[in-house]
Amino acid sequence: MTPPERLSQVTLRPGRDFTVTARHPWLFSGAVHEVTGSPADGDEVLLTSAEGTPLGRGLWNARSQIRVRIYTTNPHQPLDDAFWRERLARSVELRRRIPGLDDGAPARLVFSEADGLSGLVVDRMGGWLVVQLTSLALHRRLEGILDWLDGELRPEGILLRTERGVLEEEGLELSDGLLRGREPEGPVPVADGSLSFLADLRTGQKTGFYLDQRWNRRAVAAWARDRRAADVCTYSGGFALHMARAGARSVVGVDVSAPALELAEAHARLNELEDRTRWVRSDAVKWLEGEAEAGNRYDLVVLDPPRFARSRRGVAGALKGYARLNEAALNVLEPGGLLATFSCSGRVSRDAFSQVLGEVAGRTGRRLRILESLGQPADHPVDPNTPETAYLKGFIVEVE
């Protein structure tokens, strides 16, 4: 155990104790008053108040605006191998207690800040694990993390997936690839309700399959029978195929990515739904505006766009983007139609997203009524002290 007095110290500015005591895991550069010692990036540091009171421990990174990722508010708890193993074990054990998540089900086993492991995501897809790292400091501890995952879960292989923007923010230089075991020979089959999908763990978006929407796909599909439906930003066809299976009269999936649509078509064939779906390559807003101009109307439109805001600076622009997209969708919906609309931008709150709908209703003169509020599944838990973990929000809305 490293005594607190032997660690480099990060002293907070006066009045910034709440950053730690409120248990938010990010300490930004603006909250730092003084650094005592010479911590290297990735080193464990002791956090102290302006008055010198020990507050907790975290990992230092001078390259990032998140100067310290805080992992414990106990200043005497070392961030050693035993600490990381215990956090991993608690995360996996929670998933084992979630109804329906047996050992073979696709699942998010570690969800970063919500599991007290800021900077680490681990998804299970079939017999493989996919790791995402958004923390330079945890990358320095990656081998110990992999040892635990390998020893406890016995996967066929462990792969690394990266996000370019996040790597730059952390000063990380990483490439996608195999970390342990063997690579899958091709896309990995995963079940999503009564449907089968193929997760491309090597080149697919994120970790190969959007696990977070699987409950919402079924919730939306419950409204789809006999409706003309459009799944905008469909990616691999998740909402579209669930709506087709549920008895939608017709379903069109729209995405700007040709590889995504190829995957969606493959999923339609895999589930014998190719005769009930069609696919269009287009920008989302341009397609919706074109359909409105052509007089084409729908009874159910799903909007599941990519993240619009990565930081606080991007929130205003994101809200404008959501407004434009949702307004375009209203213009193709029949009276009494349904809009299922989502935001995966953690910086955009549910209230702010709801307010966008209110503003769009005012501009279009159409009355909206929220019928269902949707979020992320139980294997993507939310830490109430870290609002950013409640990143996925959605509404099913009736449009008069």
Question: Is 90 exceeded by the pLDDT of residue 175?
Answer: no
> For the residues of 31-46, what is the DSSP string, one character each?
GEEEEES-PPTT-EEE
Same domain, 354 and 214: yes
Same domain, 350 and 235: yes
- 63-119 tens-digit pLDDT: 999 999 999 999 999 999 999 999 999 999 999 999 988 777 899 999 999 999 999
The pLDDT assigned to 1 comes to: 59
Same domain, 304 and 376: yes
**CATH code of the domain containing 42:** 2.30.130.10
Question: Is 70 exceeded by the pLDDT of residue 4?
Answer: no
Same domain, 64 and 111: no
Closest CA to 323 of 337, 306, 343: 343
Same domain, 34 and 153: no
Question: Is 90 exceeded by the pLDDT of residue 374?
Answer: yes
Same domain, 234 and 328: yes
Same domain, 51 and 109: no
Pick the catalytic residue: 55, 260, 344, 390?
A: 344
Q: How far apart are the first and last CA of the chain?
A: 64
C-alpha span between 384 and 320 (Å, rounded): 27
Domain total of the chain: 3
Distances (CA, A) of 267 to 248, 273, 343, 375: 17, 8, 24, 24
C-alpha span between 19 and 41 (Å, rounded): 21
Which distant-in-sequence residues (6+ apart) come within 8 Å of 307 by Cβ? Answer: 344, 345, 346
- 291-314 tens-digit pLDDT: 999 999 999 999 999 877 667 777
Residue 158 binned pLDDT confidence (cut-offs 50, 70, 90): very high
Is residue 83 within 8 Å of residue 77, measured between CB atoms? Answer: yes
Is residue 302 within 8 Å of residue 229, measured between CB atoms? Answer: yes
- 185-221 tens-digit pLDDT: 989 999 998 999 999 888 777 787 889 999 999 999 9
Active site residue 344: yes
Question: Is 80 exceeded by the pLDDT of residue 129?
Answer: yes
Is residue 113 within 8 Å of residue 389, measured between CB atoms? Answer: yes
CB atoms within 10 A of CB 357: 20
> Measured at the alpha carbon of residue 347, what is the angle toward residues 344 and 350, in degrees to the nearest 5?
65
Same domain, 148 and 270: no
Is 192 a member of any domain?
Answer: no
Question: Is 70 exceeded by the pLDDT of residue 342?
Answer: yes
- Mean per-residue pLDDT over the chain, rounded: 93
**CATH code of the domain containing 312:** 3.40.50.150
Closest CA to 393 of 376, 379, 381: 376
Q: Which residue has the tokens 């207690």?
A: 97
Is 231 a member of any domain?
Answer: yes
The pLDDT assigned to 329 comes to: 97
Beta-strand pair 188-192/177-181: unpaired
Same domain, 292 and 370: yes
Is residue 109 within 8 Å of residue 137, measured between CB atoms? Answer: no
Q: Which residue has the tokens 């989502």?
A: 342
Coil, helix or strand for 62? Answer: coil
C-alpha span between 89 and 277 (Å, rounded): 42
Is 139 a member of any domain?
Answer: yes
- What are the structure tokens assigned to 378, written together? 């139980």
Q: Choose the final residue of a domain: 72, 91, 123.
A: 72
Q: Can you give the C-alpha Rg of the chain in angstroms?
A: 23
- Greater model confidence, 19 or 188: 188
Distances (CA, A) of 377 to 107, 108, 211, 212: 10, 10, 8, 6
Same domain, 114 and 63: no
Is residue 217 within 8 Å of residue 197, measured between CB atoms? Answer: no
The pLDDT assigned to 2 comes to: 66
Is 391 a member of any domain?
Answer: yes
Is residue 178 within 8 Å of residue 201, measured between CB atoms? Answer: no
Is 342 a member of any domain?
Answer: yes
Is residue 399 within 8 Å of residue 370, measured between CB atoms? Answer: no
The pLDDT assigned to 166 comes to: 75
Q: What is the mean pLDDT of residues 346-357?
A: 92
For a pLDDT cut of 90, what percent of the chain falls above it? 81
Same domain, 68 and 86: no
Q: Choose the final residue of a domain: 46, 72, 98.
A: 72
Encode 51-79: b = buried (16+ Cβ within 10 Å), e = exposed.
eeebbbbbbbbeebebbbbbbbbeeeebb
The pLDDT assigned to 345 comes to: 86
The pLDDT assigned to 167 comes to: 73
C-alpha span between 140 and 160 (Å, rounded): 14
Calculate the CA 186 to chain-centre distance.
24
Is residue 159 within 8 Å of residue 183, measured between CB atoms? Answer: yes
Same domain, 249 and 315: yes
C-alpha span between 63 and 23 (Å, rounded): 23
Coil, helix or strand for 370? Answer: strand
Domain that holds residue 44: 4-72
Q: Choose the final residue of a domain: 32, 50, 72.
A: 72
